[in-house]
Chains A and B, each alone.
Chain A
Amino acid sequence: MAPGGYFGRALVVDVGAATGEVLALPDQVLRDHLGGAGLGAWLLTELAPVGVDPLAPEAPLAFCFSPLVGTPLTTSAKFAVVAKSPLTGLLTDALASSHFAISGKLTGNDAIVVRGACERPTVLLVDATGARLEPADDVWGLSAAEAETVLRRRLGAGWRVAAIGPAGERGVRYATVSHDGRHAGRGGLGAVLGSKRVKAVAVHAGTKVAPADPAAVLAAARDLRTRSFGQATAKYRELGTLANLLSFNALSTLPTRNFTAATFEPAAQLAAEDLSEQRKVARNSCASCSIGCEHIYRRKGGKQVRVEYENVFALGPMCGVSDADEVLAASSRCDELGIDTISAGGTIAWAMECAERGLIDAPWLRFGDGPALLRALDEIGTGTGLGPLLAEGSRRAAEQIGGGSADFAPHVKGMEMPGYEPRTLHAMALGLAVNARGADHNRSGAYEADLSGELDRLDGGQAHVAAAIETEDRAAIMDSMILCKFLRGVFTEPFDEWAGLLRPVTGWDVDAAELRETARRIVLLKRSYNLREGWTAADDWLPERLLSEPLRLSSGREARLTPDRLRGMIDAYYAGRGLDASGRPVSTVP
């Protein structure tokens, strides 16, 4: 019998052969990896052929649930999508939320793995009786949201759908998998699903799973819900993540015009503080969430768009665009196409700089030009003009264009950088450099240390290294349990408190020390998978621009991140993680 909160099995579906098999998940595997991103890393290691092309039929893609999904614990309705990334060639795991997580898990599986490839557009249906395939020709070409609507109308409202947009169908290397307007956004998971000609995965709840101690889970849920209304989540609840934009601008950590600056003069035009008053029409929550971080804004023409800091940063300051309508339109366009806004904005910003330098023949593409931004997005979506180049992401595009453009391609390991300026956030610089997924703010929240006031964010050293390791460990657990990171501020002793949530759900006698070991195991497992797939120490690095072009702050100080400083922090990170001098695990993952 599986531990509380688990079924002890994964359903592995070969959509090419139209077969499914059950993979038993031993208790120890579950306890060692929990679920979500951790379980996904284990499944990928076990099921993916070594060196597989991420877009080949043999490449698996896993939807992973967690022991907390389906409990009344706030923010627990989340799932991870895990595969080898076509953008980075390494592991990628992206999280999304809401009813798909609950229904997916209550198909009776802790994970649903998709491999193989269909000959024609298909939707994979999974319920408690197993899996089956249905044609999806009629929804091929639709946006993920449209496809979801059509499929739910056809299948019945009890079905929940995760789908890809036209970009996933076309193999854009940063295409997303989407559910109910939320995106498993980073690393091109939509392209992986698209390469299998799977337009959507639909799930229907058909069974139940009981926690080990339901009364204790309910008590914990009540307590956590109460705490979730406090000041630690006020930012998300009241303004959403876009509240970062003006703050980051004030702190010189808002990447602007492809990292040529860290402040954006017209930032106020995109500020949540104003847009919220002028344009907000609604606030939404994921299923099982008491925070309600989703802020829906009205854009020109009356359409509505869900706004996050990363969307606005990447399509606004990063591209030098300050017109709110144009930025919101670009964000909507990314949603319709099913592409990651961060990679889209980063790649287009790189292309804008290339065009201004004469490296790309596109005189229409300039920083600050909103219509040009929209045109570039359209070309990515349709595969016309610059689209095929930009669909590759900034690393591959820079390899094609040359001319020194690799130095200012804003990526780590091929993944475009989020809206955190490494030169003014040295702990975050390290986190971005060494993270398994690439340039990523969700797997390394080291910016918290930079912005804590407890260390000098321009003077990276041992304290920054310790902070980067700690936040990476915390993310590994939150992404595997799974709990939303927007809840993280309510935990004062997180590993203790997380163990306290897992105990009544699973029945395990898990404690903080065990969870710390679990975090370390998951981080190392991802690193080991990447090593297997060709990662080298040179991949743990930052773009040349960030290491050679200092920033002058309004205080008069110079923000400089030298290669020596970054090297020193990386070396200390390797030592702190128990890796060898080349960043390789010195022993097998325990």
Chain B
Amino acid sequence: MGTPKAALAWHGSTLLRRTVGVVSRGTSGPVVVVRAPGQLLPDLPPDVEVRDDEQEGLGPLQGLSVGLHALAGRADVAFACSTDLPFLHPAFVRRVVGAMRDAYDVVLPMAHGFRQPLAAAYRPRLASLIDELLAEGARKPAFLFDRSRVLRLDDAELLADRVLAVGDPLLESVLNVNEPADYELALARPAPEVRVERFGVLAQDGHRGIRTVRAATVGAAAQAAGLRLDRHVVAAVDGDWVTRDGATPLVAGDAVSFVSADAGG
């Protein structure tokens, strides 16, 4: 690609920043980024944890092991994904994580008929099993699935989730960009369509009501709404996540509310 995938530009942000933001919206715990030793990462939110994968070249299981070890004791389920999923949707993350049951160790999407080990949910306790596999020279996720309890979800099962069915009906969450052409094609798509609304003093002077704009980030949505996020203006995505971080990613169908940060009284 010429540039590490994590640092690839994405509508004013980066692919990694987008992925981290979407995973954060789809889960409720800490977000961990695993990087190669010395790898430079683009700007990330301050609460994102970065861990080094000390051994390069051991494949995805090695990175998965580092990430799961980092979450041990802090999460029952972890969503693990690669950084090159430009259309990953928070509803997909929630659907996969939410499918985990006591009887399973892995929730493995079988989107479009293919296994998606890098858009799947894992028990953090699998870290020790992965270490054993790696010590045995096993590098591929298939070895892990052979020795763990895996719940597979096909397209229909994934899309049984109504929010996902609306937000990502084609399951493009699992589309990755392996070649420059994939990336250029993905980037050429228009930014997602989102609804923006200004409230309170921000809605004065004819700014009341909902508008539909195209914006891949909260910052772009603010700009489209004629605002700038600062000490006095915050955004709430889907009536839930409150942020001043303009790089916060948006997905199609999001509603962004802009409110005065000087709440209270």
- When the two chains form their complex, are residues A452 and B261 in contact, meaning their CB atoms are under 8 A apart? yes
- When the two chains form their complex, are residues B201 and A232 in contact, meaning their CB atoms are under 8 A apart? no
Query: Given contacts A235-B201, A251-B259, A272-B200, are A452 and B265 in contact (CB under 8 A)?
Result: no
Query: Given contacts A239-B200, A246-B200, are A451 and B239 in contact (CB under 8 A)?
Result: no
- When the two chains form their complex, are residues A231 and B243 in contact, meaning their CB atoms are under 8 A apart? no
A252 to B261, CA, bound (A): 16
Q: A251-B240, A554-B255 are in contact. List 16 more A-B contacts (CB 8 A).
A: A234-B201, A235-B262, A239-B200, A241-B265, A246-B200, A247-B199, A247-B257, A247-B263, A250-B236, A447-B263, A485-B265, A489-B232, A489-B262, A555-B237, A556-B163, A556-B238
Residues of B within 8 Å of A248, CB to CB, are: 263
A590 to B240, CA, bound (A): 42
For chain A, give the interface size range. 35 or more
B261's partner among A293, A451, A555 (CB-CB below 8 A) is A451
Residues of B within 8 Å of A340, CB to CB, are: none
Q: Does A453 contact B (CB under 8 A)?
A: yes
Closest chain B residue, CB of each to CB of A293:
B265
- When the two chains form their complex, are residues B199 and A243 in contact, meaning their CB atoms are under 8 A apart? yes
Q: Does A309 contact B (CB under 8 A)?
A: yes
A266 to B87, CA, bound (A): 35
Residues of A within 8 Å of B235, CB to CB, are: 453
Q: Does A486 contact B (CB under 8 A)?
A: yes
Q: Mark A230-256, 1 if CB is under 8 A from B, else 0.
A: 011111101111011011101110000
For chain B, give the interface size range. 35 or more
Q: Please give the distance in Å from B35's CB to the nearest CB on chain A.
A: 24
Q: Does B260 contact A (CB under 8 A)?
A: yes
Query: Given contacts A235-B260, A451-B263, A452-B261, are A250 and B199 in contact (CB under 8 A)?
Result: yes
Residues of A within 8 Å of B241, CB to CB, are: 456, 555
Q: Does A459 contact B (CB under 8 A)?
A: yes
Q: Does B197 contact A (CB under 8 A)?
A: yes
Q: Mark A66-104, 1 if CB is under 8 A from B, else 0.
A: 000000000000000000000000000000000000000
What 5 A-B pairs have minimum CB-CB distances, sorted nearest first? A241-B265, A555-B240, A243-B200, A555-B238, A247-B259
16 of the cross-chain contacts (CB-CB < 8 Å) are A233-B262, A234-B201, A236-B262, A238-B201, A239-B200, A240-B265, A246-B199, A247-B200, A247-B257, A251-B257, A252-B239, A252-B240, A263-B239, A448-B264, A486-B265, A555-B237
A204 to B242, CA, bound (A): 49
A272 to B204, CA, bound (A): 11
Q: Does A441 contact B (CB under 8 A)?
A: yes
- When the two chains form their complex, are residues A453 and B200 in contact, meaning their CB atoms are under 8 A apart? no
Residues A207-248 near B (CB distance < 8 A): 231-236, 238-241, 243-244, 246-248
- When the two chains form their complex, are residues A308 and B208 in contact, meaning their CB atoms are under 8 A apart? no
Q: Does B234 contact A (CB under 8 A)?
A: yes
A239 to B261, CA, bound (A): 14
